[in-house]
Amino acid sequence: AEGVRASERLFAFQTEDRLECPETRSVRYTAGPENTLLLDVPEEAAVNQAEVAAYRAAVAAREEAAAAAGTRPDLEGLEEVKPLVPWAACLERWAAPGAVEGYRSPLAGRAVTATKVQRFKTFPRYLVVQIKRYYLTETWEQKKKDVEVDMPETLSIDHLRSMGLQPSETPMPEDDEGGDAPMPDAAAAVEPDPDTVAMIMAMGFSEEQAKAACVKTNNAGAEAAMNAILSGDLDNPEPTAAAATPSSGELEADPGMVASLVAMGFSENGCRRACLATQNANVEVAMNWVLEHMGDPDFNDPPPPGFGAPPPAAAATAASSSGGNADAASPEEDGVGTYTLHGFVSHVGRNTASGHYVCHLRSADGSWAIFDDQKVAQSRAPPLRLGYLYFYRRDDAPAVEDP
């Protein structure tokens, strides 16, 4: 377990959100842990839109002619053209200011449309970049974006480091320190849409997750809420009171999370263990635990009493290490914001229902190798634009880990 936590720390980093009230210009900085940089793909930023439109028009014309003749369309001689989106456009989308409607400003005393900007607070030793190629259609089908992203082999993101509260900025008071500023009515906050909550819960997710997704997406609909959950772009909802503080005083597995994991094909006992071991954090964290421990000999056994509870010594150590210095990062957890690509994973197939994943790794001499199941071969032209997960190493990090 300690080895797993040590590995997780290599990928862990913090982001910091800066929230600004437009009326009072007061700001609030909030840091949170991450282990993956999730990037949307803005297809409208493609640099070859004319070529893509021409290709799609040619395909449509041939399909129309084939349908009229009652034959299969002949696409021979047509070279496929995929939208090519610059990496910079994906990063700009992540770093762009966003509107937070219905935010309760302590100083303004009412709901406002605040501005939120996210930045890096620390830079991890290994930065995992996930290109969000998968999405849900209106009919709840998971599809794959057939686009190319011009990913760089070296990147610099130092300019996206958060500078924290500046001397010229006025910090917002905490909600309980708002002075005479009255708190807005509850109706001013975003209320989760009950129909959307019901649809998300019908998919096997907990009520807390469904409500948090609705708030996160400002009630943009079931599709947007589900995308927020599946992409990991969801703030961790608080576990249910029954799950967090049962009458016995012992932690119990969240029923909604267990149901979500069981729906993915895992045993109920194994899913209960995952929820307990991760303190009912969320489905994504519990799923990671399942994947790491599904080979354990007792994975399918009922969790024993006290399973998942940290030993008192470990809890005290964790509390002392975080208390009073939670934002401080050790030298191994922070450094310069320049990285070099060392590997990436890509999906071979038109959609999520077919195909499989392959991995490309860079050797010490700069050459690339492809790992396809049990086959390994040299890759002279690795498809850098088609990756799903990219693994970068910080330039000032040691090349070999200490034993």
Q: What is the pLDDT of residue 2?
A: 54
Res. 182: pLDDT tops 70? no
CATH class, 194-231 region = mainly alpha
Residue 392 or residue 234, greater confidence: 392
Cα atoms in the 13 Å half-sphere on the side-chain side of 352: 13
pLDDT mean across residues, the chain: 81
Q: Is the dihedral of CA 255, 352, 235, 337 positive or negative?
A: positive
Confidence of residue 155 (pLDDT cuts 50, 70, 90): very high
Q: How many residues does the chain have?
A: 403
Q: pLDDT of 41-59, one tens digit each? A: 999 999 999 999 999 999 9
In the chain, list all ranges with CATH 1.10.8.10.
Answer: 252-309
Q: pLDDT of 129-151, one tens digit each? A: 999 988 777 777 778 888 999 99
Residue 180 or residue 233, greater confidence: 233
Q: pLDDT of 303-334, one tens digit each? A: 998 887 765 544 444 444 444 443 444 444 78
**Residues whose CB is less than 8 angstroms from the CB of residue 255 and which lie 6 or more positions away in sequence, other chains included:** 206, 240, 243
DSSP 160: G
- Pairing of β 13-20 and β 26-34: antiparallel
Q: What is the pLDDT of residue 162?
A: 94
Q: For the chain, what percentages of helix, strand and coil (3-state, to nearest 5) are there?
A: 30, 25, 45
CATH class, 252-309 region = mainly alpha
What span, in angstroms and rounded, lies between the C-alpha atoms of 280 and 307?
12
Q: pLDDT of 379-394, one tens digit each? A: 999 999 999 999 999 9
Res. 4: pLDDT tops 70? no
Count other Cβ atoms within 10 Å, centred on residue 246. Answer: 12
State the residue for tokens 């310069």: 336
- Terminal alpha carbon distance of the chain: 16
